[in-house]
Amino acid sequence: MIRLTWVQPEDLVGHELRQAQEEGKDVEAIKSRWLTAGGHLAPPTAGASPTPAGPHLRALAEQLLDELDDATHRPAPENKASLQAVSGRGARVRSALVRHSGEKVALRHRLHAAWLGRAAGCLLGKPVEKLPLEGIRSLARATGNWPLTTWFTEKGLSPELRAAHPWNRRSAHTSLAENIDGMPEDDDLNYPLLNLRLLQRHGRDFTTTDVAKLWLDELPAARTFTAERIAYRNLLGGIEPPHTASHHNPFREWIGALIRADVHGWTHPGAPTAAADSAYRDACLSHTANGVYGAMFAAAVIAEAAAGGGDVHHCLRTGLTVVPPDSRLARAVRHGIQLAARTRGFDDVVDHLHAAYGHHHWVHVIPNAALLAAALTHAGGDFTGSITRAVSGGWDTDSNGATAGSIAGLLAGHPDALPDRWTSPLKNRVASSVPGFDGIGFDTLADLTTELAQERPRP
């Protein structure tokens, strides 16, 4: 039996009930009908429940998803804001262009460090993805690596601890200290690669439909997850963007769009509004509201860091200027920043964040964006401090580590400024199922990204 994750109707109902409640909608009557019929709430960590529903329950799930779609099509107030903070198409033509060769070389160094940083942060988080906070802390403490300062390792762990907190089964064989051999494939790297192809093919004025066509051409369906998998399925079902983001898609405010934002920031150095506009057009294929705002925030932070002028605190403040200030995303980011600024121990910061946002799914953008902002703030943008804090906070560890590494890499300014223990194991090689990119070097990726950052908008 193929029990495909993130698409089973009987699981989507539970996720949609949860998402609708987070948006402030009243779905108690639908929830009661579902549970009374024998339905279950969403699986807490896994992408699918272990056994399929019977035909009658599955049919009810499809019916309730339609009813829930009707309810969610009446948007909460913040869902109406869309691109209110971005000034429209004119923003796309105002990216800061590199004016002389010295600027180009400096930008290329920053982008090289950002690619390496994204990979290293992602790889650090891969073996502990999905683990509860206590599991991450226990595994690191048992090997003398708490607070985190380097890669996770299995050496020195007792059989009992390994059994209590098993590594991520898909990632451990390529992401523990003793077996890292280049950057293994991960969606946190696949999407930046795919977005390079997007800009190469369509330029800065790409549309959401261009993104959709590119996914169908270049992105294997099995390499998508959560909101992206639903959007992909919707495309195959003949649904057009932006409805792909909302139809039977309870993951529309999860972290997927944020992890696709880096290239939009990298290629708009010093132009955070333009970067946010670019990220918005990408994100609308699969996400709505705070899911989109997370991508816009990240793209703007990265664009400001790519300019090479400000510190991490300035970059985070800039990121907040492109999202609705009263959105749940903006409130969570501000909370993370403020908490990190006034709290000495980062474990205490994390405990407070988990108390405040632990009711969300571990892949939701709200808790992860708050943690990302807190980690960068507490570390002051330091590379090692940023990625280790982001990963040590749990939730979507590889995605948070990746984005923290991208931003901190830009702030470091040069690949040689990143500690060798993080970059040498990458061996200047990334694996990918995106056609044409498997085995590519980070130096080559820096060259490609630098060229795209200089490209003027097409007529």
* Residue boundaries of the structural domains of the chain: 9-74, 94-127+183-454
Confidence of residue 80 (pLDDT cuts 50, 70, 90): very low
Q: What is the mean pLDDT of the chain?
A: 93
CA dihedral 352, 353, 356, 362 (to 10 degrees): -140
Report how far apart, in Å, the C-alpha atoms of 353 and of each of 107, 146, 247, 260 are: 35, 19, 31, 24
Mean pLDDT for the stretch of residues 314-335: 98
As a whole number of angstroms, the distance between CA 267 and CA 110 comes to: 12
Q: What is the CATH number of domain 94-127+183-454?
A: 1.10.4080.10
Q: What is the pLDDT of residue 85?
A: 46
| Mean pLDDT value across residues 197-204 | 97
User: What pLDDT is stored for residue 279 in this prediction?
Assistant: 98
pLDDT of residue 456: 66
pLDDT in tens, 387-442: 999 999 999 999 999 999 999 999 999 999 999 999 999 999 999 999 999 999 99
Residue 57 has pLDDT above 60, yes or no: yes
Peptide bond into 272 cis (omega under 30): no
Query: How distant, in Å, are the alpha carbons of 112, 205, 296 from that of 303?
Result: 14, 17, 10
| Residue closest to 186 by CA, chosen among 259, 267, 94, 244 | 259
DSSP 3-state of 199? helix
Asked if the model's pLDDT at residue 87 lies above 90, the reply is no
Q: What is the pLDDT at residue 101?
A: 73
Segment 196-222 shows an average pLDDT of 97
Take residue 428 and report the two structure tokens written for it: 């200047």
Which residues, including other chains, have CB under 8 Å from residue 329's CB and lie 6 or more apart?
290, 293, 294, 297, 323, 365, 366, 369
Distance between CA atoms of residues 257 and 279, nearest Å: 8
Greatest alpha-carbon span in the chain: 68
Minimum mean pLDDT among 43-47, 235-239, 345-349: which range? 43-47
Q: Give, rounded to a whole angstrom, the gap between the first and last alpha carbons of the chain.
A: 51
The confidence band for 457, taking pLDDT boundaries of 50, 70 and 90, is low
pLDDT value, residue 89: 38
Q: What is the pLDDT of residue 455?
A: 75
Given this model, what pLDDT does residue 96 score? 53
Share of the chain above pLDDT 70, in %: 93
Does 16 score more than 50 pLDDT?
Answer: yes
97 falls in which pLDDT band (50, 70, 90)? low
Can you tell me the distance from the alpha carbon of 87 to that of 89, in angstroms, rounded to the nearest whole number? 7
The pLDDT confidence band at residue 313, using thresholds 50, 70 and 90, is very high
Mean predicted confidence (pLDDT) in 237-244: 97
Q: What is the pLDDT of residues 250-261, one digit of tens each?
A: 999 999 999 999
Q: State the DSSP H helix or E strand holding residue 235, giving kind and residue range, or none if neither.
A: helix 226-236
Which pLDDT score, from 0 to 100, does residue 2 have?
Answer: 81
The letter for the amino acid at 53 is A
pLDDT for 458:
57
Q: In this predicted structure, what is the pLDDT of residue 90?
A: 37
Give the pTM.
0.95
Q: Is the pLDDT of residue 92 over 50?
A: no
What pLDDT is stored for residue 93 in this prediction? 39
